[in-house]
Amino acid sequence: MNTSTISLKPIREICGRLVSEIPETQKGLEYHIEIGRRLEEMNQSDRKILRETLNTFLLHMEKIEASDIDLGGHGCVGKIWYRVFGKKSPLNTEVELPVKETDVLLHNLLTISQREQFLAQKNLDFSYQIPSDEEEGKTRRYRANLYLDLESVALNMRKIDTEIRPFKSLGVHPEIAKALSLKFYKYGLSLITGITGSGKSSTLDTIIDANNRTVDSHIVIIASPVELVHESIRSVVRHREVGRDVTSFKHGAIQALRQDPDIIVIGELRDPETITTTLEITDSGHKTFGTLHTSSAMESIERILGEVSSDEQDRVRMRLADVLTCVISQKLVSSLDGKRVLAKEVLLVTPSVRAAIRNNNVNEIYQMLSEGSELGMITMEQDLKRLYDSGKISKEEAYNNANNKKRMQQLFDELD
């Protein structure tokens, strides 16, 4: 749907009317509670107009190939912002949306229980979807984060790609493919890492889908929020959303052990408790996948060890050495065609790598990575050079995205 044909006037009238009824003396938490109360009393046709207009802005993401939308709060200055191929810019609309009116628009997305959680924690992760229409039969899903910006409501939504990329598109070596498959590796921890927006979820969904299609098993996915929903094919696939189906990643992982799983997917290893629980359930003989916000294989190992207390580090180091199977660290790099391309570092945990982890010699792993091509290992710098050699990215982009700038320069010098 073309946003240029949609007027903001109806939602401005609805939101403006509600805002005008709230006394100026109500500030902060009381103000947001009052918005919620008045929304619950509002007629459903007006609430539907608000939701459908927001849906229009989400649908516009497809037209411009945007990954994210931001609106609300003082930072958006009354505009609707999109991230397109890594860069954010505002949408041109006939009028701007005042902060108090976007407060109403965004509160309208929430259920009563979600609003209570949001106001208690001042932040809310949730999933959102636009139901399929009769013509397309396509449901669109989004990962949403609601938060406060100078006491006003702000929203980021990321479009979830409901079309799973084929496993071949990852371009991994057969040895790495085996490590990621329950068919060949019955247990062990595989990590997909990268900064926010690097495509970790898409890669993880591709791996889950490959197992779902090739192995008779039970897959339990614990996520915050659940993004792509996998249909059970050869495997039974369960989806448990933190905050809705389970209270935390840790509890979801512990409960999964009583649900006869073969594969357990932990959406994010974000705290010491989740990390230690993940290592324990993997050590009990399960195949486990998780994500981390790190930019390299070595940083991922160091991050896990750094998250636990000093008196626990030796025990965690030994357990990590025993269970870690594979680490894929990735980035989305600006390409010469104005889009983005995947660059990745891949570590397969060999006996030498395990020894380096046990002996606290993580710095030795980079050399093993750079010399492990016969097993499918590759450093980020080697993969960036491959992308440069194939004419997909510039030399400057390769250098800027390198984790090891000195090694990146050495690889370029070898060309001269």
Domains and CATH numbers, the chain: 3-160 (3.30.450.90), 167-413 (3.40.50.300)
**Of 325, 274, 265, 326, residue with least CA distance to 304:** 274
**Of 334, 256, 315, residue with least CA distance to 290:** 256
* Tens of pLDDT, residues 362-387: 999 999 999 999 999 999 999 999 99
- Give the pLDDT of residue 190: 97
For residue 236, pLDDT beyond 50: yes
Helix (H), strand (E), coil (C) string for 256-282: HCCCCCCEEEECCCCCHHHHHHHHHHH
Model pTM? 0.79
- Give the pLDDT of residue 416: 60
| Cα–Cα separations (whole angstroms), residue 300 to 191, 201, 247, 393 | 8, 17, 26, 26
- Amino acid at the residue 277: T
Largest CA distance in the chain: 71
For residue 5, pLDDT beyond 60: no
* Candidate from 135-149, 241-255, 285-299, 333-347 with smallest mean pLDDT: 135-149
**pLDDT range class, residue 3, cuts 50, 70, 90:** very low
- Give the pLDDT of residue 136: 61
Q: What is the mean pLDDT of residues 169-196?
A: 94
Structure tokens at 200: 């970790």
Q: What percent of the chain lies above the pLDDT cut of 70?
A: 96
For residue 10, pLDDT beyond 90: no
For residue 271, pLDDT beyond 70: yes
For residue 135, pLDDT beyond 80: no
- Give the pLDDT of residue 86: 82
**Which ranges of 158-199 does DSSP label H, i.e. alpha helix?**
174-179
Q: Name residues whose C-beta falls within 8 Å of residue 92's C-beta, 6 or more positions apart in sequence.
A: none
**pLDDT range class, residue 415, cuts 50, 70, 90:** low
For residue 161, pLDDT beyond 90: no
**Residues 312 and 320: beta-carbon distance below 8 Å:** no
**Helix (H) and strand (E) counts in the chain:** 16, 13
**Residues 298 and 320: beta-carbon distance below 8 Å:** no
* Tens of pLDDT, residues 74-83: 999 989 999 9
Q: How many CB atoms lie within 10 A of CB 45?
A: 8
**pLDDT range class, residue 2, cuts 50, 70, 90:** very low
Separation of CA 150 from chain center:
25
* Candidate from 84-98, 115-129, 145-159, 227-241 with smallest mean pLDDT: 84-98
Q: At what angle do helices 313-323 and 272-283 cross, to 10 degrees?
A: 50
**pLDDT range class, residue 4, cuts 50, 70, 90:** very low
CA–CA separation, 71 and 82 (whole Å): 9
* Tens of pLDDT, residues 91-110: 887 778 899 999 999 999 99
Separation of CA 306 from chain center:
22
* Candidate from 176-185, 204-213, 223-232, 400-409 with smallest mean pLDDT: 223-232
- Give the pLDDT of residue 133: 62
Q: What is the average pLDDT score of the chain?
A: 90
- Give the pLDDT of residue 227: 81
Instruction: Please tell me whether the peptide bond between 174 and the residue prior to it is cis, using omega within 30 degrees of 0.
Output: no
- Give the pLDDT of residue 25: 87
For residue 6, pLDDT beyond 70: no
* Tens of pLDDT, residues 305-360: 998 888 889 999 999 999 999 999 999 999 999 888 999 999 999 999 999 999 99
* Candidate from 128-132, 289-293, 396-400 with smallest mean pLDDT: 128-132
**pLDDT range class, residue 26, cuts 50, 70, 90:** confident
- Give the pLDDT of residue 109: 93
Q: At what angle do helices 351-358 and 313-323 cross, to 10 degrees?
A: 180
Q: What percent of the chain lies above the pLDDT cut of 90?
A: 68
